[in-house]
Amino acid sequence: MSEVRFTDQHEWVRLEGDEATIGITRHAAEQLGDVVFVELPQAGRKVGAGGEAAVVESVKAASEVYAPVGGEVTEANSALEAEPAKVNEDPEGAGWFFKLKLSDKAEFAKLMDAAAYQEFVKGL
């Protein structure tokens, strides 16, 4: 049973047990345009909630991707290095960025659910 939450920085987190999978939202992927490069964190790196964890680049823009929740990185989606286009094709599926072992579940609970995020995007 997994649950997905969103941040106002346009990241999503899917929680399964204490494993969080993180990526950027469809809205963010559309705003960025064609993604050409991603820089991913190495497994074992510890990041705090809101800390810079990855970089995503399109032709014209580069953006930091923040860890919505804190924890230790367990895996990066190395498929994106060869095929950054996956971020555009399936941002909330095959285009995930990295997984981490969540250190504090309360951080997850604070994030927006899908409906709240939809409202948030509408208001931009």
Partner 1 sequence: MSMNSQGRPSHSGSAQGHELPTISGDRGLDLEARLIFEIGRSGVTGVDFPDVKVADARLGGLRRKGAVGLPGLSEPEVIRHYVRLSRQNYAIDAGLYPLGSCTMKHNPRLNEKMARLPGFGDLHPLAPRAATQGALALISELMKWLTTLTGMPAVAMSPKAGAHGELCGLLAIRAAVEARGEKRNRILVPESAHGTNPATAAFAGFIVDEVPAKPDGRVDAAALKAKLGPDVAAIMLTNPNTCGLFEGEIVEIAKAVHEAGAYFYCDGANFNAIAGRVRPGDLGIDAMHINLHKTFSTPHGGGGPGAGPVVLSERLAAYAPLPLLVSDASGFRLIEDRDELPEGAKPFGRMCAFHGQMGMFVRALSYMLSHGRDGVRQASEDAVLSANYILASLKDVMSAPFGDGPCMHEALFDDTFLEGSGITTLDFAKAMIDEGYHPMTMYFPLVVHGAMLIEPTESESKESLDRFIAVLRGLALEAKAGKRERFDGAPHYAPRRRLDETAAARKPVLRWKPDALPQAAE
Partner 2 sequence: MRYLPLTPDDRRAMLAKIGAPDIDALFRDVPREAVVPLSAFDLSETKGELEVERALSKLAARNVAAGAVPSFCGAGAYKHHVPSAVDHLIQRSEFLTSYTPYQPEIAQGTLQVLFEFQTQVALLTGMDVANASLYDGSTATAEAVLMAQRLTRRPKAILSGGLHPHYAETVETVAKLSGVVTRTPVMPGVAEDIAALIDNETACVVVQSPDVFGLIRNLRPIAEAAHAKGALLIAVVTEAVSLGLLESPGAQGADIVACEGQSIGNGLNFGGPYVGLFATREKFLRQMPGRLCGETADAAGKRGYVLTLSTREQHIRREKATSNICTNSGLCALAFTIHLSLLGEEGLARVARINHAKACALADRLSRVAGVELVTPAFFNEFALKLAKPAAPVVDALAAKGVLGGVPASRLMPREAAAKNLLIVAATETNTDEDFAAFETALAEVLK
Contacts of 90 (CB under 8 A, 6+ apart): none
Query: Which x/- pattern over 36-75 shows residues binding partner 1 (rule: CB under 8 A)?
Result: xx-------------------xxxx---------------
Residue 59 or residue 116: which is nearer to partner 1 going by CB? 59
116 lies in the binding site for partner 1 (CB under 8 A): no
Contacts of 93 (CB under 8 A, 6+ apart): none
Q: Do 65 and 76 touch, CB atoms closer than 8 A? A: no
One-letter amino acid for residue 8 of the chain: D
From candidates 18, 43, 61, 116, binder to partner 2 by CB under 8 A:
61
Query: Which x/- pattern over 1-40 shows residues binding partner 2 (rule: CB under 8 A)?
Result: -----------------------------------xx-x-
Chain Cα centroid distance, residue 65? 7
85 lies in the binding site for partner 1 (CB under 8 A): yes
Choose from partner 1, partner 2, none: what does 1 bind? Cβ within 5-8 Å by kind: none
Distance CA 32, CA 110 (A): 26
